[in-house]
Structure 1
Amino acid sequence: MEKQESLQKKFGKLFDTIAHIPQKFSDAVEEGLKESSNLICVKNGLLDFDLVEDDIRYIHRNLKAKGDKVLGSRLILDDENNLMEIRTYTEKNNQNFLVSVDVEVKEIINIPENILNELNNSGRVELTIKL
């Protein structure tokens, strides 16, 4: 009887490990991408809007290299929290994942006037980035 219980326990642990692999993988990828030091568009709190697409391409390239299918990205500028966030949506093994990179922003340069106006009026802008 003990062997059967031990075997059940081992299979339970194995099943638990297998069930959590996609989430652990997603967490590891997200941690790797979260390093704001990897972003070229933000240096010392200064966001150069002209370089945002380069960073998004970099994120997409890294995710594709890991075997993910990139579904799209959103750029969020939050004036109230002094934050820029890049959300990238991916698919792997028929499961969807969100990889988020955020960084504190104190000042923005090279921002298009219409986006700046919306940011000033609403305090937050969300843009879908198509590459």
Structure 2
Amino acid sequence: MKSKILFVICLLFGLMFINAGLNKFLNYLPMPKDLPESMTKVMGAFMQISWFFPLVGLIEIIGGILFIIPKFRALGAIIILPVMVGILLLNIFDAPSGLAIALVMFAINIWVIIENRAKYMPLVR
């Protein structure tokens, strides 16, 4: 039962990141109109760095795909972790209205990392 719940959660998590990554290339989701001014400035700064959004989008797509596949989930969790930390910090400092979902997503990522800790042990030894 636990593995089925974990799979469904990881599937949804991975699909959310694949969607976010594809949006960085295809721009099919409109920007919300009620973004805080600080968030608008941050996004404007990110847009000035022409390679930043494509890089993050590619990482989100690859990490999301790997996160869905049980064999590669541990790798996907590590690939997505820096992006997830960035999302969490952005929501803490610039857009607290999205903090709840960012915390849930971060908790899922940490849960998967803890579940796969044995796969990371050779890296630490």
TM-score by length of 1: 0.28
TM-score by length of 2: 0.29
- Which structure shows the bigger proportion of residues in helix conformation? 2
Larger Rg: 1
